[in-house]
Structure 1
């Protein structure tokens, strides 16, 4: 049928008069019986792309050849993004592009021979060829429907909005094929396209490089040119697709497969007048496909990177491995015997091996059981993915593991490799003797401590003459909106608190901080409470206790924790709060971040901002918290954030802008530079802490720790470095599985960076922050380098307790150098 239509078109061209040449004025539409030839062009409506003929003097052809292509109009160095007749060049200048009577577009030479054609049948009248602003050449019908597009027939370039598709059912895939040489657009040896949710580069028919979706999703580029580029792999029905789009200001961005086999993401930098590559693969030692042979793993964390055999495996040819020839791979030390007693070796952050099989299983346990039930199964992975509606899928492998790579600096998956049980026995033998000894020792120490404390408490306790009440009589109803004074917070009997907490049983302990422990309590009527028992050894305990009761009693806001009562008994100092079932924010963000969707994180950020705005501007007192951190943000049963721990807070007068203290208390990592070094605190000190929390919530990473940036001291410096390089979206926690709006994420990152600027005057107020977060469109200033982000210019003397958890308070003392 296609051949017949092609023959008919030739007859038509031989019998009709030459087509009418396009008018000199630039247009984006080619109508029936019109043509372009020579230097005539079509130009997209916005003037971004040009369609026309260009010359090539490739040595492979040995002569000057002409091709029909699309390139950027405003870039001085011609960059061709699509070629129609790449494998069928024309050699005469009389060749032209026309729209034939049957509404196809065709390249025709001077002999009226078809060189290239869209070659469709049954195209309706009124169809025209149109060059879109996206660089897509389409055949558009009168009803606006496109029946053909150049995006479905790519050459070596992927443009924004273009999709490369793979059909799981038919096995058909679209591929981008590299040019043969720099000046020869004919099809080269390398091609790239999606296979399921992977991006694969082939060299002829052999796999050359393979990358998983997690290595490219959310990839960002070029803050220098103001571009944010988001890569996405998706699935609709049986079809997988790979695409990318641009966020924010636009500068030309393209992916190109080079003749050398390198896949590059490039941005046009106007200041340099050149294309700048921001991402290139393959480019590392471990990028070569199956470099380490069957069941061998490439370790990117080694210095230098090298191939290794995992636990339970040994080199197949030890002599070759000693000469760094790894192609023979690894073999099992003990072969599998198809036993249900086999165990799995977890390998963290691995690029999953090639040739996996997808199994429809709902839970990880189902996935594991499926593998253990099949004798041929050698490994499984229960992996998160963006291409399945439930956000996860079960993958299993048979036989050797091919193209396995480990890199702890990349958020990859956990692979579970099947081994015989005996491979684990040698590691467990010492534990058989150690565990009973430790258990008995812990039991003896615990029992001794319990009876000693009971004896001391019974000697020291005396009845207080103050009027008290039992916990069951405390009003636990919502008191928001009341003017509640210090005297109205009930004083509770110590025995009642003891009873509710099981005598402060370790089983009820929720957490421990620098100023004491927090316990869960349950009243006779079923109500749950949180009991904060200040440490007896804390020198600041009395001051923090009184300060917290006075402040929280007068502060009522939906994003502040509510104080229900207090208790003193001899040297006991106890605060009673509403119970927060989801505990503190740090427990969720750093340990269970997979439970936090982007919508929940944004709600938490906005809730903290609202609470802080109330403290600074809308409460009866202007309050500076001074110890704002993720462990002091509590979450109720609906995940609403509530600010807690006001022991270090200070009250400001209406016209007061800052205060000063000789003793610096708080938590390092969240303290602003002016407070840590000079003891100066203000609203902007809290703003700094808020900015740190925003970056932690977005990234799922702690503010202190190791980050893959050479000069970076902490998360602040890492975030700033990514922002400068235009890769800000890389900061987003990869545990986020559901969809999110990239512009929302970028706005929050920018707000966080503005809040942590070194100069307090440059930081925004919470009023400004809340207005930005609640506004759909609002201009934001560009952030400057944050404080405490690069270099170690501060001598720190920290007397830290273990990292505080729910309701906890940690304290550090710092001295300026």
Structure 2
């Protein structure tokens, strides 16, 4: 009888499993259903899909949500991100209490939604919505979004979707925020978080653990006041709600057909992506700017950071460095202190700063109902109050923000910014007013003298100017002048001839693919570098105009400054600031003595500087610029060995979110070209990333990529670095320059980043904002894949011919 019962039970179980309701085309899950691997829920419009998945050949299984029709699969939410299932027996179901649970056959419940509100509800279902929100709700009622019994949107991972709310309960908690993945194939909680800090006036921050790395600033009525949102606001509508009980932040798309996501990547970098049907990939339309002023409290207290100034840190008016000697050596950690103490009883005043990112508001006080004048009065009544500003800039401004004791993390805003009023002793304000009066008198006197001199100069040089104007008109007419080309300052050819001693060989300091470069000294003592374009060079009129147009608008400490140009008949000259330490290749490929002039600290600083210069070109300049010819000979070093990127003759600029193009005229230097450009003519910002990776590996190894061949394995420099990396012998790749254990780990990290940059596929390479962060960070990096042109010298050389001196070349047709 017992044997008969066992057989009967087995038959019933088999029947139930065979006829278990299928889920592959449904968007709901009921209490009598469960899900296993290969079974999914699909939202009603087919936008999102939910189910179990794994990464590659990994045995670890996760339950998550992804875009159904986008390849490769893009995960937007993971339930058991910290507790993966280790076998194929996992299932998802609703338990008797109405909570969503993941069961592991060997361990029982490994994840529970803990839907406490569902215990009394009889007809509970799980549904995947078209917003990507997985919800538990009462099937018998028509619920609004706020009435769901449980929803995945309340437990965000690394992705912020339209309609999702980052919500913080100011009374009881909890805080909802984004947390980065540990790596690209490990969704476990990473080190970084994107959150709304609710201490003081709420502000957006990115933190590593409890340490703030970056502040987006406080909400000013339109957006967070420290963020540039010019592009994003064209397509997205952001909303921020602050009450006595709650802070809520969310966004929506103006176009319902737009697919967009905001992701905090494993390196702590936030990125906004939009799906392009035309390109069939994700296009990044915004990423946090990465410059020194974005580092939290980079200039310490009571200072202002301005990335367009040098040095970037300056004490606020009325303040002085706390440690003068350290400040002069660019150590700003001590910050600034008041020159004159405040006198609360006898009255102080305020100095207005415009176009600013407001300081840290975590210890601020605010009142949304006060006017700016009432805010000023409130600040004057409190002797510890040192600054005030509007909390909302809409409709002329409203609300009051007060700061106390010290100003922390204020900078010049990259776009618009807002006004802030800094408190100063009355004597400091009087001193400033007197200085301004003196400056005004001096300015008026100077203006009068200038007008008189100008009249004389105009009369004396009118004939010369007519001649020069005629020459310029003749040149532009001959070469089909473009309306938007700005030729910057035009020097008279005779002045440059005199400055270079008639282009004497003694003044010649180098020669590239487009002609020789000479040192010159102008009449006022200014040293210059003059590039004299060869009549037979590859850089023709278009490249010449392109370089002038681009260089005249670029301003960054890691880019060479263009002073102007000179034109006379077939002569075309470009005049730059003079770099006394020549180009980088002189040191890293030179003699042993020259090579040892660059120690490891300086080499790593140079790599970091090149990365920041490229980041400016790709992201922070007015136009998005792809250099297309980055190499060690185009990296010049100033008197302090600060690297500056030069030679923009091949550069291409783009407007808006365009970041890639094709060409039938492949130009650049073999050994630095990525495979997709050298073979197919396709270039993008990732082309420069590849070139940067080559430069990194050359700097660290002291060896040129082109011309190097590992005789044992027939590998070029990239392949050699890759082989040593996978064999965990990267220390053998390092140039023969002494180093200690303290810096060896940094060198290995830079090799790792270099290998990530030279990966075969462009989509696998990081962008420059991630590169800058990876170079300075300490978090885990993803594993690199094989580099481009991995097979070595023979494969590289098979692409086409080139000169042996690494001169820039061109091919008329891409292959």
TM normalised by structure 2 equals: 0.48
- Which structure carries more relative contact order (alpha carbon 8 Å, separation 6+)? 1
Which is greater in Rg?
1
